[in-house]
A and B are shown apart, each in its own frame.
Chain A
Amino acid sequence: MGVISTDSPDSAAAAIARPAMARVPLARTAVFGAVALLLFLLVVLPFGWVLNNSFHDDLTGAWTLGNYARIFQSADLLEPLFNSLVLAVATAVIAVGIGVPLAWLVSRTDLPFRRTIRVLTLTAFVTPSFIGATGWILLAAPNSGWLNALWRTLAGAEAGPLLNIYSMTGAIFICGIYTVPYSFTMVSSALDEMAVELEDAAATLGSGTLRTMLSITIPLVTPAVIASFILSFIQGLTLFGVPAFLLTPTGIPVVTTKLAEFYQLFPPEIFMAAAYCMPLLLVTAMLFWMRRRILGRKQFVTISGKIRAGRRIALGGARWPAFFAALLLPLVSVFLPYAALLLVSLTRAWGQGLSWENLSLHWYWWALFGNSETHTAIVNSLLFSTLAATLCVMLGTVVAYIVERKMVFGASLFGAVATVPIIIPGIVMSVGFFAAYTRAPLNLYGTPLLLVAAFAATFLPIAYAHGGSILKGIGPELERAARSLGAGEGRTFLAITIPLMGGGLLSGWFLVFIPIIRELSVAVFLITPKTNVMTTLIYNAKDGGNYEAVCAMSVLLLLITLALVAAAGPLTRLTSARRTSRKTAPAEGALPT
């Protein structure tokens, strides 16, 4: 035939050729869909509602910019912003001013009892700051505080109170001492991880100890110091419990307590509260961006070397004075407040003073078994935290896996969404979940699910980052090997990836469980009497003046937290122990090769 075909039969066949199983499997679509939906519900929706609400009027519900205008026009709303900044700056200065020298003493010098100081600082780390504040109210309330009472017996009954914890200074002190552990941990781990060779190299070139410190050690830890300053600043800015306990009674408002006030008005100004979240969000977002830039550029800080050998800077005659100085932080953040809480919780009636007849375990029995309210809160705390930590780690790990292995187009968007809550202060998270889930069609108010979801969302960034860092250590070939042997994606994830993550997953679980069980601000607008947790119960009960019960609950919460911290290390090590069969015979290694 004379017709010229442009398609050779071969290329026509190629055009229709398509591998038999190239369709996207149903299970894969279902998993990605579920992950996307969860991220939407936990992060996008609450945040979206806060944003949307901020542009609406509380009375009429109409679209408005009035809420934002009010922030800048009303002194009532500007004052808390200013107070929050003062609190944040002062907190960061204290945290870095104490945390950095302490880190250096513990990591670099021959300070006596270094390990003990480290453990005590970590104890301060896991102590919820509002419980610390409760302890200090017992110690330094202007009239009843024990330290003030002691002062009066020394200086005479006419002397005014020595300390007043109900003041800006008091709040700064509490925020400061409970934020020191953040800067301490960041800087000391930077010092610990710094390759000893870097300092040795300077020493071999003739540099003395001081010179080496000034030109090598300090520049290398500077990014960690700056980052910890930023983190401490954010902490001071976003803490809710401490200002609520110490500043609200004296009428000094900060942003976080002002937010709570909007909810207590009648009618509550919920849309106004949403707008009032924005300055806070703006500052935290900016600070995290700065921190990321600083840490991102100076990646060399974490270049790890060998575990530091025994060589340490000798403090000489300053050893013991330095030790007592280092002991000050645990004294004010752990010993004194814990002792106060413990003593009060063990008295039948605090007002009757210390005596043997007054000592009893009554309030513990009461809290655990006698009172249904406290009993419910304890059960709820444990249950919600367990569920939330599990959900958080599962979701964080799956998102990290999808991102790390670039499993779908736009995987990094999943990661970005999972990271967003890091810039959202707990109190704003609470506002967001209240906004999103107290309305149809997803009215979850009063259900445990609301708290579990809010907790999981708040700590998702930790679980996600932790999962990602474990996965970075697992070569993709280990998974590809399973694929090429016939295992599908799901089977590979369950049979290879999850077991290899092993102990890391468990440590990640503790890493989110511990902050969840001590979290107050996220829960504060979301609880109902049925879904009360220990933290909110303590927060609400301290106004009732039943200090014995509050203290007993606080001690119980501390005990649970400390027990978990103590258990986390050994448990994690147990599951991640490098596998070796029992019948190891080193000599057998020389088999025919």
Chain B
Amino acid sequence: MSGIRIKNLRKSFGTYTALHGIDLQVPNGTLLALLGPSGCGKSTTLQLLAGFEAPTEGEIWADDVLLSSARGVLPPEKRGISLVFQNYAVWPHKTVAENVAFGLSIRRLPKAEIAERLDRTLRTVRLEALRDRYPSELSGGQQQRVALARALAVEPRILLLDEPLSNLDAHLREEMRYEIRQVHDLLGLTTVYVTHDQSEALVTADRIAVMKSGHLQQLGSPEDIFERPSNAFVATFIGANNELAGTSEGNGAIRVGNHVLTAPDRSGAAHGARVSLCVRPSQVRLFGAEQSAVADEGCNVLSGTVLRSAYLGEYRDVLVDLGGGRTLRAFVPPAQSFAPGSVVTALLPIGSCQILGPAA
């Protein structure tokens, strides 16, 4: 099998274990997003892939070449892996062209070829006009593109991107997402993209690996991750989510306080185990006391009082107190308005609910 193969990768720093044995495959030509909160081990994984750290255990292969194992590490400069850094790491003492051509001159390519590849790369990221500028004269987005061009110019086997957009402002970030995806489609490079931003991952990636506390939680397509999360952590991390903690009653049933609710059970947990009922706020429907709750499909029914309601233009974000310290968020049509303190009935369509176990 070709592409990147990560086998049982473990990394400890002293007594702290950053990675608890990760297995991952990135087929050639795909873009994998490593997604997770800070401290989840995604950056450690990237450092290991780039060859700046040695694994405590496990192996990293690229096609049929062993890159890293506990017994040794192929140094970064011999891996054919380019890395784009979070803070760009564009060299301030070199011009745009000098930055981009650096890797080419290391390879002792003929002058003509260097010039040709430099031009082509600058064109790819639309930096031709700025080639003689120094980085201090560039905007953040332009520096980001220099970093990308520098990484691409050497035609690496693998491209690594470490939170490449996190230092950009929100507007630019949104544009650059598509640009990165576009470059990927153009060049078809095997790419690993580290991010903590779920929408960045959803937009750019072919496959997403969700991580937490050094464990891989789920590996799958964006649709898999969003629609069929493997556990409550993934469900909550990707998109808005309600997580009602309870215990498994078996057979697709969960006890939440005094209620027994039903939902497709994807936890695989035994009777009595701690599980959660997860449902997206957009799927929850609310009815006031004067309205009669109408369900056209099987629904779990809960009642509560409105804690707060926020108008967000396209919908209203309503927080309902279910009693027993539990709350439920619902995104309802803006026309529906609820005053704080009013009693409501919440319908949770069974098909949109899932019973999920805790994070690995």
On A, residues with C-beta under 8 Å from B are 14, 17-23, 475, 477-478, 480-489, 491, 495-496, 499-500, 502, 578-581, 583-584, 588-589, 591-593
The number of A-B residue pairs with CB atoms under 8 Å apart is: 125
Report whether A485 and B103 are in contact in the complex, using a CB–CB cutoff of 8 Å: yes
Q: Which secondary structure dominates chain B's binding surface?
A: mixed
Report whether A484 and B69 are in contact in the complex, using a CB–CB cutoff of 8 Å: no
Could you say which of B59, B133, B175 contacts A581, with CB atoms under 8 Å apart?
B133
Report whether A19 and B66 are in contact in the complex, using a CB–CB cutoff of 8 Å: yes
Report whether B85 and A591 are in contact in the complex, using a CB–CB cutoff of 8 Å: no
What B residues does A491 contact at CB under 8 A? 106
Could you say which of B81, B93, B160 contacts A502, with CB atoms under 8 Å apart?
B93
Known A486-B77, A489-B75; 14 more pairs at CB < 8 Å: A17-B71, A22-B71, A23-B72, A475-B87, A477-B87, A480-B50, A483-B75, A484-B160, A487-B102, A491-B106, A579-B134, A579-B136, A592-B126, A593-B139
Q: Which of B55-87 contact A (CB under 8 A)?
A: 59, 65-69, 71-79, 81-83, 85-87
What A residues does B89 contact at CB under 8 A? 475, 477-478, 480-481
Kindly provide the distance from the CB of A473 to the nearest chain B CB, expressed in whole angstroms.
11
User: What is the CA–CA distance of A17 and B7 in the complex, to the nearest angstrom?
Assistant: 13
On B, residues with C-beta under 8 Å from A are 50-52, 59, 65-69, 71-79, 81-83, 85-87, 89, 91-93, 95, 102-103, 106-107, 126, 129-130, 132-134, 136-139, 141-142, 147, 150-151, 154, 160, 172, 175
Kindly provide the distance from the CB of A497 to the nearest chain B CB, expressed in whole angstroms.
10
User: What is the CA–CA distance of A72 and B129 in the complex, to the nearest angstrom?
Assistant: 78
Known contacts A475-B89, A480-B85, A583-B132; A21/B95 CB under 8 A: no
What A residues does B142 contact at CB under 8 A? 591, 593
Kindly provide the distance from the CB of B108 to the nearest chain A CB, expressed in whole angstroms.
10
Known contacts A19-B72, A588-B129; A484/B87 CB under 8 A: no
What B residues does A495 contact at CB under 8 A? 102
Report whether B83 and A19 are in contact in the complex, using a CB–CB cutoff of 8 Å: no
What B residues does A502 contact at CB under 8 A? 93
Counting chain A CB atoms within 10 Å of each CB, the highest count among B68, B89, B133, B134 belongs to B89
Kindly provide the distance from the CB of B68 to the nearest chain A CB, expressed in whole angstroms.
6
Q: Select from chain A the residue with minimum beta-carbon distance to B79.
A: A484
Could you say which of B75, B134, B138 contacts A21, with CB atoms under 8 Å apart?
B75
Counting chain B CB atoms within 10 Å of each CB, the highest count among A14, A475, A482, A484 belongs to A484
Report whether A593 and B74 are in contact in the complex, using a CB–CB cutoff of 8 Å: no
Counting chain B CB atoms within 10 Å of each CB, the highest count among A19, A22, A23, A477 belongs to A19
Report whether B106 and A485 are in contact in the complex, using a CB–CB cutoff of 8 Å: yes
Q: Which secondary structure dominates chain A's binding surface?
A: loop
User: What is the CA–CA distance of A486 and B52 in the complex, to the nearest angstrom?
Assistant: 13
- Sort A-B residue pairs by CB-CB distance and give the 5 closest, nearest first: A22-B72, A485-B103, A477-B89, A483-B76, A484-B83
Known contacts A481-B83, A484-B82; A500/B65 CB under 8 A: no
Kindly provide the distance from the CB of A469 to the nearest chain B CB, expressed in whole angstroms.
18
What A residues does B74 contact at CB under 8 A? 19-22
Report whether B66 and A18 are in contact in the complex, using a CB–CB cutoff of 8 Å: yes
Report whether B92 and A593 are in contact in the complex, using a CB–CB cutoff of 8 Å: no
What B residues does A589 contact at CB under 8 A? 137-139
Q: Select from chain A the residue with minimum beta-carbon distance to B68.
A: A19
Report whether B77 and A488 are in contact in the complex, using a CB–CB cutoff of 8 Å: yes
Report whether A591 and B130 are in contact in the complex, using a CB–CB cutoff of 8 Å: yes
Q: Would you mind naming 8 contact pairs between A and B with Cβ atoms under 8 Å apart?
A: A19-B73, A480-B76, A485-B77, A485-B106, A485-B150, A489-B75, A500-B91, A502-B93
User: What is the CA–CA distance of A589 and B79 in the complex, to the nearest angstrom?
Assistant: 36
Kindly provide the distance from the CB of B344 to the nearest chain A CB, expressed in whole angstroms.
46
Report whether B81 and A484 are in contact in the complex, using a CB–CB cutoff of 8 Å: yes
Q: Select from chain A the residue with minimum beta-carbon distance to B162.
A: A477
Report whether B82 and A19 are in contact in the complex, using a CB–CB cutoff of 8 Å: no
What A residues does B134 contact at CB under 8 A? 579-581
What A residues does B147 contact at CB under 8 A? 481
User: What is the CA–CA distance of A491 and B79 in the complex, to the nearest angstrom?
Assistant: 16
